[in-house]
Amino acid sequence: MQVQVNGDGVELPAQATLADLIEHMALTGKRLAVEVNEDIVPRSQHPDFRLNDGDRVEVVHAIGGG
């Protein structure tokens, strides 16, 4: 299946979870926040949250700004 991650298409195996995606991005354990289809998915739910084809995922972190 394909999901949109931060605007880019990413191929993932069927049944992949959010935790799988984060591992795929080599971001496991990093301080970040995730939205799927504009809803926050709390960190504690990442291992159980199954992604679906066409989901729009946003992965964000804190950067410098004023």
Partner 1 sequence: MSEQATIQLPEDKPLELAGRVYQSRLLVGTGKYRDLMETGHAIEASGAEIVTVAVRRTNLGQNPDEPNLLDVISPDTYTILPNTAGCYTAKDAVRTCKLARELLDGHDLVKLEVLGEEKTLYPNMTETLVAAEELIKDGFKVMVYCSDDPLLAKRLEDMGCIAIMPLGAPIGSGLGIQNRYNIRLIVENARVPVLVDAGVGTASDATLAMELGCDGVLMNTAIAQARDPIKMAHAMRLGVEAGREAYLAGRMPKKLYASASSPIDGTFF
What separation in angstroms does the CA of 26 have from each of 8, 17, 22, 42?
16, 14, 6, 19
Contact 51, 18 (CB under 8 A): yes
Under rule CB under 8 A, residue 60 binds partner 1: yes
Whose tokens are 């729009």? That residue is 56
The mark string for 3-42 relative to partner 1 (x by CB under 8 A, - otherwise) is: --xxxx-x--------------xxx--xxxxxx--x-x-x
Shortest gap between Cβ of 8 and partner 1 (angstroms)?
Answer: 6
Residue closer to partner 1, measured from CB, 1 or 41: 41
